Structure 1
Amino acid sequence: MNIHFVVNDFWELVVTGLTQGAIYALVALGYTLVYGVLKLINFAHSEVFMVGTFASWLTWTWLGLGVNSKVPPLIQVLGYVVIAMIVAAFASGATALVIERVAYRPLRRRNAPSLIFLITAIGASLVLFEAVGLIVHRQPRGMPVLVKPVVLFHFLDAAVTNLQLTIIISALAMMAALDFFINRTKWGRGVRAVAQDPQSAALMGVNRDRIIMLIFILGGILAGFASVLYCVKVGITTYDVGFNLGIAAFAAAVLGGIGNLRGALLGGLLLGVVENLGAGLFGNPWRNVVSFLVLVLVLLFRPNGLLGESLGRARV
């Protein structure tokens, strides 16, 4: 137990944890959207994120960037990242939509029990996992270094780099955009209506199938954005990259209150910080153990999570 290290580098660990937590939060929003409307845990969402990472890698490869490429100028970096986000968002959104149409919609039409949905979600996850593994021969793929970390300023003894600040601000901006969409647009009102009372929403002319398609696409797009931020931060991807990150994002959604968008944000940021502090205190192998222990303790006292509330009623 390294208490001295945690005390001395507490704020440094917090900033690093917030950076990772921002990525968790973006992925957790996909779990929350689907659960808020369908009361379904879409375990294939982790592989939707994984598809986004490989879409990013392919995009940068097609643009002539490799692992050993020099760090490009800032203007070019912005262009490379924006192009990768568009491609990754399209790839992940399309993957999520195919999962909904092929795996879940036939079950909904047959009024299948919840257990069948759960088994199907796990099956869809394994299909994507193994398919991509075969395509890439189970080998990791390195990313080009697009951003060279540079310390911009110090906050409470923590050195904040340009990369950390970019990831946190980008993630918060995407979450704010989703918040606006759900609360201030016609389609967003439809999502909240279906989440709150699908039967009444249908009587009012809301097309439930279109709303369900929309939430899967939105969740996929956010996972695609998160995958680009992850690739820029970590610099490598593998066919199983979605497993641990997907579990952490699901834990973040539950921690914040699954079904609540702001809960996913809070849960993701909090889980990232707790993981980092746990890794600093007990060592990196204990990272997931500490974070899930905190999750269990929170759920013992608040079973609905920190901000537990249905998507249809949440002031997101």
Structure 2
Amino acid sequence: MTAKTARPAVDPELAELYAALPAPVVLDLDVLPHIRPYSSAPVEPLLEGRPIRRRELTVTAADGAALALSIFSPAGADRARPAVLWLHGGGMVMGDRFAQIDIPLEWLEQLDVVVASVEYRLAPEVRGDTLVEDAYAALSWLAREAEELGIDPARLVVAGTSAGGGLAAGVALLARERDLPVRAQVLLCPMLDHRNVTVSSAQFTAPDIWSRETNAFAWGQVLEGIDQDEVPAAVSPARAADLSGLPDTYLDAGSAETFRDEVVDYASRIWAAGGDAELHVWGGGFHGFDAVFPQADLSRRARAARIDWLRRRV
């Protein structure tokens, strides 16, 4: 086996759990419609019996489209709380606002924060910067409506996993440009670089839970018709020339996943620009391991580390 094809081992507990899953497939336009229905789950079972209030609203996108926005708040005395805008994963081609929502709902209960999750539109139905602008529209709406929503506008957090993590990074770049204050960004195994040229992207080819080939397909749907040298930084944040002035940043990834190296590079460039970033590379973690198997020991440790970091910032 050559160095190019060698892969870091998956954590033994995760490997055993993973072996019970259906074999991963490479996404393409024929497969995508069959996968989309399984890329989320109902939110109601997660809310049952928990002291959480839910509101369903809409916000208006930059092009006038109506975007569904779910807001989850702790029950109890009203006061101005920190708020997290959650952006779901799914490669920017699948998923909905309830995908992986169990992660920020833990933050709601443990940190007493409001959680908002927006139904940003997906590729290939929309392309280019539409997805990140949808996410930014939700953040700016939360800032404008903060008083009515019981939100402290000085303590806004943007967060997401996988594609949502990449979108969160893009939203933070837009917020910096547009002078919208953001307290922190939480980027969980984020999808940051459309170029697909890192060592880890070469290591994790198909079959894999998110392979180099699937990654190329997903980015291709978002960027069709856009010259590779003209991709906006807000869409592919690794292209940003300047990472100074960003909010405090939490990043994580598994050692056994496609996005590992682009995440490490992004953290390094924030540090180089004088920024505040905390990076965790979880040994033996595959892409999205803690969302797929939250009961695993490594997943529990990863989730606890994020909560600890957030507690010190909100």
TM bin (shorter chain): under 0.3
Higher strand proportion: 2
**TM-score normalised by length of structure 1:** 0.23
Q: Which has the higher contact order (CA 8 A, sep 6+)?
A: 1
**TM-score normalised by length of structure 2:** 0.23
Q: Which has the larger radius of gyration?
A: 1
Higher helix proportion: 1
